[in-house]
Amino acid sequence: MKREEICQICGKPAIGYQILVCCVEYVCADHAHPQLLALEPGEKREWGALYFVRYPEPG
């Protein structure tokens, strides 16, 4: 999946993306699901029908 740099909700820098059943959302820390916020940079998690990817730190 290509890396989207902008939150689709507010336009702030995205920290990752979340797949909620069938929809992908690129989100900033303000709009991220708690499961996404709990991830370390570069980590991924599958949680039932949900999938979360936290982008690695730049550099």
Is residue 1 over pLDDT 70?
A: no
Residues contacting 1, CB < 8 A, separation 6+: 17, 24, 53
Q: Is 90 exceeded by the pLDDT of residue 12?
A: yes
Q: What is the mean pLDDT of residues 23-27?
A: 95
One-letter amino acid of 21: V
Is the Cβ–Cβ distance between 48 and 18 less than 8 Å?
A: no
- What is the pLDDT, as a whole number, of residue 46? 96
Cα atoms in the Cβ-side hemisphere of radius 13 Å centred on 32:
23
pLDDT at residue number 18: 97
Task: Give yes or no for residue 31 having a pLDDT over 60.
Answer: yes
CA dihedral 51, 54, 55, 58 (to 10 degrees): -170
Question: How many H-runs (helices) and E-runs (strands) does the chain carry?
Answer: 1, 4
